[in-house]
A and B are shown apart, each in its own frame.
Chain A
Amino acid sequence: MSDYNFAYLDEQTKRMIRRAILKGLAIPGYQVPFASREMPMPYGWGTGGVQVSAAVLTPEDRFKVIDQGADDTTNAVSIRRFFEKTAGVAVTEATTEASVIQTRHRIPETPLREDQILVYQVPIPEPLRFLEPSEVETRKMHSLEEYGLMHVKLYEDISQHGAIATAYAYPVKVEGRYVMDPSPIPKFDNPKLEMAGIQLFGAGREQRIYAVPPYTQVVSLDFDDYPFEPTKADHACDLCGATDSYLDELIMDDAGGRMFMCSDTDYCGARRTAGHLGAQGAPLAEDAA
């Protein structure tokens, strides 16, 4: 792919995307429209994240890509390869060694530093979309800070179920102004949205970019008497024993036997390398290649 520009996109396009990113950083949580380009992977498969990554990557960067917390899922592999081919950047699976991390549906367990950028893949950037299908109307609601409808939804959940019934893509208020969809991360990850790294959100098909600068206030919506709870399965990781990480549940046999393991494969692997073992854990080398 030597005929292509660094990271595939032409410089004009990157400039356009960077302007959108800067605007997003200047107005945390506000959705900036941008002219999304057709990319070699389908809309809905991370083109927004890919365009944002392409715009921020430099040749010196180390790039990590995860999907559902794992580096080895097929779409993460596909995207990582894309950048290896078109940008020739170094890639890594270690969160601590990456300078740019593109993610789908998870925030890494290891806290990010000020010199790191987290790029989220976003399917539907509009937190009000399922309450109000019209884009014209939701843009008005954001500009007028008309978020009553959002809380009505939470009220309805409590009156029907006794608790707020949103498990992922849990809406947040950014810096006290804009209500934002943090992408379909489990609500367990919401507290991590207040971090030292830069967070960039790309929605290619919907043509929106938004951002959260470091150390920005991000509050999950709730009621004073029904406070937000970042819950996870009440287990420890069966491989590394971690009790503080988000877990994948695997079905083991026909009898309904199951085991739980860290969704963040790098976090789990690092723990196992350091000697932590869970109920079913064994040292790392025995995994199938």
Chain B
Amino acid sequence: MYVAVKGGERAIDNAHAWLAEERRGDRDVAELGVDQIREQMTLAVNRVMAEGSLYDPDLAALAIKQSRGDLIEAIFLIRAYRTTLPRFGGSNPVDTATMACDRRVSATFKDAPGGQVLGPTFDYTHRLLDFKLAADGEFGEMPQTEPNAGETPHIMGFLDREDLIQSEPTGSDTPDDLTRSPLELPASRALRLQALTRGDEGFILGMAYSTQRGYARNHAFVAELRIGAVAVEMEIPELGFAIDIGEITLTECETVNQFKGSKTEPPQFTRGYGLVFGMTERKAISMALVDRALRWKELGEDNLGAPAQDEEFVLYHADNIQATGFLEHIKLPHYVDFQSELELIRKLRREAQASEQAAGQAEEEGPSGGSLKGKMKEGVAS
């Protein structure tokens, strides 16, 4: 006799207990410290901050520890936490022109004021597994030098001065906050950029790559890539002026792209823009390429039908928390829906077989039966 399955609550509790054990792993191995993650897995921390839309390296490191290294799971933790945080207000727009650049490179000019500064990059490393690192991570003294004295002006500024590059619209209106208002299309550029900076790095990378391979190719040059710290300033009403409330590391990428065929404008360079929390280069460059591809309409270009030009397609599928949530939900019970499909298909097959039999008999009996197709598909007279 059937006994109904119960015990969902206990199953969940046991699953969570096992998960905690797995997270800790072998107890003979030292426990991972949040500070270790923050210091030695900085790029993972950066990604979690960027896609979690929350600048807090300690929290991001904790999230990575809790999620056992699954970065999307960590991003989810940060996003959920962010929902609960009260909002005191908004900062002034950060001024990346004043950035203290740790890294600053340009592909469009051999040299420019501020110089080409490689910074701590993987770019020219040889991708050879360093087995010495498994044993000990010690290394020699790094040569020191004086930091750059003046500011590092934006390279785009020089192109701007010659009027060669399309100027960006200026304005002082605060754009909508993507996390506070629903995404409605068509989306403003500001909303698009918000969606891109917190979108999944892999997805944005793929979209950017597709433009390079010819799906709405717009031939991007990296005019400038800069990474460093900027001050965050906030107006305090009680004081009547703005104060520095902290400092964040940003990666900013500006691309220069060829402009083709517009109704009213002579040829001009156009721009793509990427801005991401932390040292997150791949994402910033990808973002700039996808930003540029999505601008086809306001630049008077043709819609070539490329995926990266399709605003709905890109923006609706860039968010990896939405994506993984919906993807993984198919693990949930769907047996009620499935049951109704089962019933329907059984019914349709029964009716199809009945029709075939009736048609078979009719053929034996004489020509009055009509075609099988006719029997199946004619409307029933009301």
Give me 20 A-to-B residue pairs in the complex whose CB atoms sit less than 8 angstroms apart, sorted by A's number. A33-B184, A39-B80, A42-B325, A45-B325, A68-B333, A74-B8, A77-B8, A77-B9, A81-B9, A136-B312, A162-B348, A185-B336, A188-B340, A225-B379, A231-B344, A231-B347, A233-B339, A248-B335, A249-B339, A249-B342
Cβ contacts under 8 Å, A233 to chain B: 339, 343
Interface code B308-321, partner A: CB below 8 Å = 1, 0 otherwise?
A: 00001000100001
Q: Is B128 an interface residue (CB 8 A)?
A: no
Q: Is A44 an interface residue (CB 8 A)?
A: yes
Of A111-119, A211-219, A279-287, the one touching chain B: A279-287
Of B17-25, B82-90, B101-109, B259-267, the one touching chain A: B82-90
Cross-chain contact B82 with A38 (CB below 8 angstroms): yes
B residues whose Cβ falls under 8 Å from a Cβ of A: 1-9, 11-12, 76, 79-80, 82-84, 86, 179-186, 312, 316, 321-322, 324-329, 332-337, 339-344, 347-348, 351-352, 355, 376-377, 379-382
Cross-chain contact A42 with B1 (CB below 8 angstroms): no
CA distance A282 to B327 in the complex (A): 40
Cβ contacts under 8 Å, A169 to chain B: 337
Q: Is A289 an interface residue (CB 8 A)?
A: yes
Q: Which of A192-228 contact B (CB under 8 A)?
A: 205, 207, 224-226
Q: Is A64 an interface residue (CB 8 A)?
A: no
CA distance A247 to B5 in the complex (A): 15
Contact of A123 among B179, B185, B328, B329 (CB under 8 A): B329
Residue of A nearest to B380 (CB): A225
Q: Decide: A287 near B337, CB < 8 A? Known: A44-B325, A167-B343.
A: no
Contact of A248 among B327, B339, B347, B352 (CB under 8 A): B339
Cross-chain contact B6 with A72 (CB below 8 angstroms): yes
Cβ contacts under 8 Å, A224 to chain B: 382
Q: Which of A228-270 contact B (CB under 8 A)?
A: 231-233, 238-239, 246-250, 252, 259, 261, 263, 265
Cβ contacts under 8 Å, A45 to chain B: 325, 328-329, 332
Cross-chain contact A40 with B80 (CB below 8 angstroms): yes
The residue among B183, B340, B347 with the most chain A CB atoms within 10 A of its own CB is B340
Could you tell me the dominant secondary structure of chain B's interface residues?
A: helix
Q: Decide: A68 near B12, CB < 8 A? Known: A38-B79, A42-B76, A134-B312.
A: no
Cross-chain contact B332 with A43 (CB below 8 angstroms): no
Q: Decide: A246 near B336, CB < 8 A? Known: A39-B80, A74-B8, A287-B4.
A: yes
Closest-CB distance, B313 to chain A (whole angstroms): 9
Cβ contacts under 8 Å, B352 to chain A: 162
Please count the residue pairs between chain A and chain B whose beta carbons lie under 8 angstroms apart in the complex. Answer: 171
Cβ contacts under 8 Å, A246 to chain B: 336, 339
Q: Is A10 an interface residue (CB 8 A)?
A: yes
Cross-chain contact A186 with B337 (CB below 8 angstroms): yes
20 further interface pairs, Cβ-Cβ under 8 Å (given A69-B336, A168-B341) = A4-B84, A10-B84, A42-B329, A43-B324, A44-B329, A45-B332, A67-B332, A73-B8, A105-B336, A136-B312, A162-B351, A163-B344, A163-B351, A224-B382, A225-B379, A233-B339, A247-B339, A280-B1, A286-B3, A288-B3
CA distance A259 to B326 in the complex (A): 31
Cross-chain contact B348 with A163 (CB below 8 angstroms): yes
Contact of A38 among B185, B321, B336 (CB under 8 A): B321
CA distance A123 to B9 in the complex (A): 24
Cβ contacts under 8 Å, B179 to chain A: 35, 37-38
Cross-chain contact B181 with A35 (CB below 8 angstroms): yes
Cross-chain contact A75 with B332 (CB below 8 angstroms): yes
CA distance A104 to B344 in the complex (A): 21
Cβ contacts under 8 Å, A252 to chain B: 2
Cβ contacts under 8 Å, B381 to chain A: 225
Cross-chain contact A105 with B334 (CB below 8 angstroms): yes
The 6 closest A-B pairs by CB, nearest first: A43-B325, A44-B329, A42-B325, A44-B326, A167-B340, A44-B325
Cross-chain contact A38 with B80 (CB below 8 angstroms): yes
CA distance A74 to B9 in the complex (A): 7
Contact of B4 among A34, A42, A44, A288 (CB under 8 A): A288
Q: Decide: A106 near B6, CB < 8 A? Known: A10-B86, A37-B83, A136-B185.
A: no
Cross-chain contact A232 with B348 (CB below 8 angstroms): no
Cβ contacts under 8 Å, A104 to chain B: 332
CA distance A81 to B11 in the complex (A): 14
Cβ contacts under 8 Å, B325 to chain A: 42-45, 47, 205
